[in-house]
Structure 1
Amino acid sequence: MSIKQTLETVKTVSKSPAALAMGGVAMAFLLSDAAYAGGGGTDVAFDTVWETLREWTTGTLGKIVAGAMILVGIIAGIARQSLMAFAVGIAGGMGLNYSPDIIDAIMTATLEKAPTMTPAVIQFSNGLGG
């Protein structure tokens, strides 16, 4: 491929929206700092937002929304003559109520027993001892 053909290819690709998007993503990766899940540290900027969402979902508002989900599920179940919509309504209400606890458990998960399990994992992974 000659230099002229290469330059023409570069011009064609540079006009592509997909190439521009990929270039933007690459630049974002190159210019961003490392991020760690659940590693908010001492930055409390979003703590109030999380507490507000937690209070909404597990408090009175959450109970009202969960009740509305169940009520809509009952109505949809009667209309369709199926209990499946009722079950989906109950599952949605339960999911709404328990989602903050699930998110906290996922984001604060630790491997407390990892040092004691390392020899067993090594044994299982390669089949050899020590």
Structure 2
Amino acid sequence: MIKQTEISLLDALKLTFQLALQKTQKFFTKHYKDALIFFGLLVALVVFQEASFAGTDGDDFADIYTKLESWSKGTLGKVIALGMFLVGLATGVVQQSIIAVVIGISGALSLYYGPAIINSVVSGIV
């Protein structure tokens, strides 16, 4: 005859808790360094959060932004855009594919209209 043993609910919960504790301990011993790095970064983010708001006025790079925007919309930008288009056209003829021409046109359009799009996306009306 097979002998049946009865396990009480308390014993079943105790066994389940012990198994979960063993698995948790295995996990933490295996990933100890990763957890330590994660909690270190978390503490650093909490401690140094004030430094992340430094220099948010945006006046530091206004001159270079204006210079690059004027270059891309000026004669230099038009020359580079025309160069992109011509290189795309030549590559399209060599490869006998329209995709290179489309890439050249999209690069030229991105160069010319990109700063205006970026400016309108980044600067919101408050």
Q: 1:82 to 1:100 in 2, by over 3 A?
A: same
- Mark the structure with the bigger radius of gyration: 2
The aligned length equals: 102
Q: 1:27 to 1:84 in 2, by over 3 A?
A: same
Task: Give the C-alpha shift of residue 10 in structure 1.
Answer: 4.1
SS, match of residue 109 in structure 1: coil
Q: Give ranges in structure 2 of 5+ residues lacking alignment.
A: 1-20
Determine which structure has the larger helix proportion and give its number: 2
Counterparts of 2:43 and 2:67, CA distance in 1:
34
Give 1:26's aligned amino acid. L
Question: What's 2:42 paired with?
Answer: 26
Q: 1:75 to 1:105 in 2, by over 3 A?
A: same
Q: Within the alignment, does 1:80 sit opposite 2:95 as a pair?
A: yes
Which of 54, 58, 77 is the matching residue for 2:69? 54
Q: Following superposition of structure 1 onto structure 2, how do residues 103-122 of structure 1 map, counting pairs within 5 Å?
A: 103-110=118-125
Give 1:15's aligned amino acid. K
Counterparts of 1:96 and 1:55, CA distance in 2:
11
Question: What's 2:79 paired with?
Answer: 64
SS, match of residue 82 in structure 1: coil
Question: What's 2:117 paired with?
Answer: 102
Q: 1:14 to 1:84 in 2, by over 3 A?
A: same
The CA RMSD over aligned residues, in Å, is 3.1
Task: Give the C-alpha shift of residue 84 in structure 1.
Answer: 2.7
Structure-2-length-normalised TM-score: 0.61
Counterparts of 1:45 and 1:73, CA distance in 2:
37
Counterparts of 1:14 and 1:52, CA distance in 2:
50
